[in-house]
Structure formats: C-alpha cells, structure tokens
Amino acid sequence: MIALSVLTCAVLVSTVFAHSPGSPSRIDPWNDDYANTPDLSFSGVVSFAHLPHEKCLDRPESAFDIALLGVPFDSAVSYRPGARFGPNGLRSGSRRQRPDRGYSSRLEINPYASGLTLLDCGDVPVTPFDPAAAIAQVNAAYRSMLHHPVASEEAMKELNMQKGLDGQYHPRIVAMGGDHTIVLPILDALHEVYGPVSVIHFDAHIDTWNPTRYIGSVSLQADVNHGTFFWHAYEKGFIKPNASIHAGIRTRFSGPEDLTDDVTAGFDLIHTFDIDDHGVDWISNKIKQRIGKGPVVISLDVDVMDPSYVPATGTPESGGWTSRELRRILHSLVGLNIVAFDIVELAPAYDSNGEISAIAAADMVYDFLSILALGVDAQSIEGKTGGRPTDEL
C-alpha cells in the first residue's frame, strides 16, 4: 500500500509539472503523430467544398475574386417553403468536393487551384418576418460584396474578366439561395456596377409574370415574389432589352398573354423538350446567339431538372432535364462574359435521405466556378483583342 501511494504521488507530481507554466515538456500526442491531418469529406466545419470561410459582410477589407454567399430567404414562394435552408443544403451537398481534388477532366481545370482566390463568405442574415426589409438587406449585402477588393487583379485581367463602369475589377459572386426573388435585389446591385445585363435563366417557369395577373398578388408587397421578379427587373431597367433567354421551360400558362409579356420583358424561350428535338449543341448555340458579347448573369433554379433527380424544390414540374444534360449545357457556355451566378429554390426538407438534390445542386456550383476559372473568350467582350482560347464542348 505504501509503495502504491508513493507511485500515485509520483504520477500526480509528474502530471502537474508537465502542465505547469514554463514546463520544458508538453503533452501533445495529436500533433506528435497526426499534425496537419486534413479534414475528410464528412468532418470539419461545413463550408462549401471545405473552402476557407469567414463572414465577409463584417469584414469589408476581406479580399477575394470569387465569393460564395448564402441568401437564406424564402418569404415570397407560391407553393412549398423551405428554400431558406438551401445554402446549408448546398454546403452539405458539396462535402465530397475539396480544393486538392477538384480537377475536371472534361473542362481541364481545377477551379479551386486556378490562381483566383475563392472564399465561402457565409450567409446574409435576412429577416424572415418582413419580405420588403429582407429584400433591402439582400441588396445592401450584395452591393457591399461587389465592392470588396479583389485579391488577384492580374489573374482577372489574364482571364479577360470585364471591369465595372467605374473602370475597376469587382469580385464575382455565386449567390446560393433562397427562393428566386433574391435575384431582383441582386440584379439591382449588378446594374449599378455593369449597367443593364443579359440573363441566362435555367428554370421550369418563366418568372416574368405580370403581377397584375399573378394569383395571390393582393398588395404592392405581394406583387414582388418568385414568379414576378423578372418583370420588375425589366420595368426597372436592370435587364438589357431583347438579350435574355429562358432554358428548360415546361410550366403551364394562363394563356398566350403570359408569353407576350415574356417577350416584352426581353426574353426568348427554350422549351425543355427542345433537347429531344434539337440536342445540346442547338440549345447552346441559341443561348450564345441571343446573349452576344455583353455582361451576362446565369440564374439557375434547381427545378429546371426533373424531380426524379432533384425532388427538393418548392415548385416541381415533371419532364425536366437530367443533371447530366444540364451540366453539358453549362459546360458549353465557357467563354461567355459572365459577371454573376446564382442557384436558387433548393429546399432540402423535400430531398431524399441520400441528399440527391443537394449533391446535384452543389455540382452545378462546381461547374459555375470552373466556368469562371476558364475565363472569358477574348471575342466575348467588345473592344478587346487577344486572350485565352476556350474549348467548345
């Protein structure tokens, strides 16, 4: 017993000494054997693709070239709510992506190792109680993000990225919604920097409905929702006249007047069945001919894909494109003068337990990043010569 007590005391003394200030030794078995072990796909804080992350809105000095920004707003949906959890779903769906294993054999690029600085900038903390106030918050947040300093001005120049009207480079932002209404304040912010822009709109629905004929529009605030926002953008002059296009449309209409309003708002239309009649190349060429050389925004509602691939959305429509078909179309748009992306209407509560919707949506974001990293075809910006060639897929 005496020997045991002496041994116990010795261990206690040794332990206290090892942890006392100024101790010459330190117990750190993790770093001794496993220092700098990277997080695996299922571990760590969940940022998009395990990218560095910070709340950029609180740090205006943060410099980046491409930001991923969550916009958890769904107070203006017409059917199933839940897209406020879309940013979280997208990040979760991206867990198997990572910067050190991001090379695309199809596009021959790793967007995470392209010389551009990518940052997950967290979410805009929008209020869920007042849609008008939330829309103002989204606009303020996006405008602030656009005026953060870029980290790699030389890389943006090399990639032929367009400067703003102020003659300066501005970061490219991938907005992760949220319902589609968020694009109205986003277009407002982009218009301030670039002037009127074209839109490539992937969706099952046109979203140019005139609010005077939209069911449920019972007030001025109700007139602004995820089915009317492009009409408001047209009326406010945010969209370049006759230079935008929908792709993947297959919804029902009140009548021909809806399509007349769509033309008035500046859009052409590709039906979902056109992929069967004409193929991917035809769709790609029609988009490019419509858009031309000016600055363009790609806005992707996940319901453009068939519900069998993406059930987790608020207004599903049968007969959509597969995720493979959509990704092939996206790949064909390399080289366009793209100044912003958004992906919206992912509502994870309706997903499968295998997260098939979130994974597909996160892969679309990966393609967005790859397209940006491949740069702008020199011929896609008026007045520029030379530049990086791009592959026509």
User: Read out DSSP for 127-142?
Assistant: -SS-HHHHHHHHHHHH
CA–CA distance, 283 with 375 (Å, rounded to integer)? 21
Query: What are the backbone dihedrals phi and psi of residue 136, each rounded to the nearest 5 degrees, phi first?
Result: -65, -35
Q: E strands along the chain, which residues?
A: 66-71, 118-123, 172-177, 198-202, 244-249, 267-271, 296-301, 338-344
User: Read out DSSP for 182-241?
Assistant: GHHHHHHHHHHHHSSBEEEEE-SS-----GGGSTT--STTTTSSTTTHHHHHHHTT-B-T
Annotated binding residue at 303?
Answer: yes
CA–CA distance, 120 with 44 (Å, rounded to integer)? 14
Q: 126: which DSSP letter? A: -
Query: What are the backbone dihedrals phi and psi of residue 78, each rounded to the nearest 5 degrees, phi first?
Result: -105, -10
Query: What are the backbone dihedrals phi and psi of residue 339, each rounded to the nearest 5 degrees, phi first?
Result: -110, -10
CA–CA distance, 326 with 321 (Å, rounded to integer)? 6
CA–CA distance, 10 with 168 (Å, rounded to integer)? 68
User: What would the two tokens of residue 183 be?
Assistant: 């694009």
Helices and strands per DSSP (H, E), number in the chain:
12, 8
Kind and range of the H or E run holding 66: strand 66-71
- Answer for the pair 208, 249: CB distance below 8 angstroms, yes or no: no
Q: E strands along 108-197, which residues?
A: 118-123, 172-177
Helix (H, G, I), strand (E, B) or coil at 295: coil
User: What would the two tokens of residue 88 be?
Assistant: 């979280």
Dihedral angle sign, alpha carbons of residues 38, 41, 45, 51: positive
Annotated binding residue at 180?
Answer: yes
User: Binding site residues for Mn(2+), as ranges?
Assistant: 180, 203, 205, 207, 301, 303
Binding residues: 180, 203, 205, 207, 301, 303
